[in-house]
Amino acid sequence: MALVTISSHTRINADLYELTFTAPMDLQTTRYEPGQFLHIRVTDSFDFLLRRPLSLCKVDLLHNRLTVVYRVQGAGTKRLSTKQVGDALDVLGPLGRGYQIHKEDHASLLIGGGVGVPPLVELARQLHELGQMVHAVVGFQSSQQAILLSDLAQYGSVTVLTDDGSIGKKGIVTDVLRTEFCNGFDRYYACGPTPMLKAVQQVLRTADLPGYLSLEERMGCGIGICVGCVHPIMRDGHVANMKTCKEGPVFAAEEVVFS
């Protein structure tokens, strides 16, 4: 846990903000994984007590800074959006288990929906650095919610879909996940709303493509002590409620049980 300084905070689309701050640790010497999250207090007063888990989106090794991207969804994130450059930010993390990178892979498929897209940016950077072919398929409600497209485009090709067709193709991410398309990849990495993850898991199980899902549950402590953020996970033939903050948020796709 550390009080760090905000170095930039900008509105990047309708209700979406990009927040950059000094990393709470030395990025050159500390291990972190794409898909991990930062647990951030929106105020130091008691009115909004709990931290907000925000996925690690971008890493600036040169300046030792981290970037998260979030949507103003309620009064707490509204409060966060009022923070200014130079303000202190109470940050815990990076926390949790992120995406496992498979160095032997040649081509990776990244699938994101809405505010599930941010962790895919650092993941794409790392996969690209390893020389892998990266293709991101990302879906949004409309152009008003589309984010990070040029960031993803630095590391590979990007297919954009929107519910209303205002940018990219009209449709949802599973529309493009046909078996012939998926055959070109070794693995997939997904992050997005639960209905999307459930549909992606189903489609890619049929296509026989292994992958990872990053789950989102309402989180409390972020370190595994409150046991609030559980999701049913099948492991060793037995389903158990596992903590998405500690054992996740990323799980192997075949382990995740959806109701």
Give the residues lining the site for other proteins (CB under 8 A): 1, 41, 46-51, 76, 92, 217-221, 223-231, 240-241, 246
- Least Å distance between CB 48 and other proteins? 7
- Least Å distance between CB 175 and other proteins? 27
Cα dihedral 125/129/132/135 (nearest 10): 20
- Considering beta carbons, is residue 109 or 229 the nearer one to other proteins? 229
Amino acid letter, residue 146: A
* Distances, alpha carbon 34 to alpha carbons 77, 102, 172, in Å: 22, 13, 24
- Considering beta carbons, is residue 12 or 239 the nearer one to other proteins? 239
Distance separating alpha carbons of residues 54 and 252, to the nearest angstrom: 20
Task: Look at the block and give the residue holding tokens 């930010």.
Answer: 89
- Least Å distance between CB 226 and other proteins? 5
Distance separating alpha carbons of residues 256 and 250, to the nearest angstrom: 10
- Least Å distance between CB 236 and other proteins? 14
Strands 107-113, 133-140: parallel, antiparallel or unpaired by DSSP?
parallel
Give the closest residue to 179 by CA, choosing from 208, 211, 213, 137: 208
- Considering beta carbons, is residue 37 or 48 the nearer one to other proteins? 48
Quote the DSSP letter at residue 84: -
Distance separating alpha carbons of residues 178 and 128, to the nearest angstrom: 23
- Considering beta carbons, is residue 20 or 244 the nearer one to other proteins? 244
- Considering beta carbons, is residue 1 or 12 the nearer one to other proteins? 1
Cis previous bond, 94, omega within 30? yes
- Least Å distance between CB 246 and other proteins? 7
- Considering beta carbons, is residue 47 or 104 the nearer one to other proteins? 47
- Least Å distance between CB 28 and other proteins? 18
Check if the beta carbon of residue 104 is closer than 8 Å to that of residue 19. Answer: no
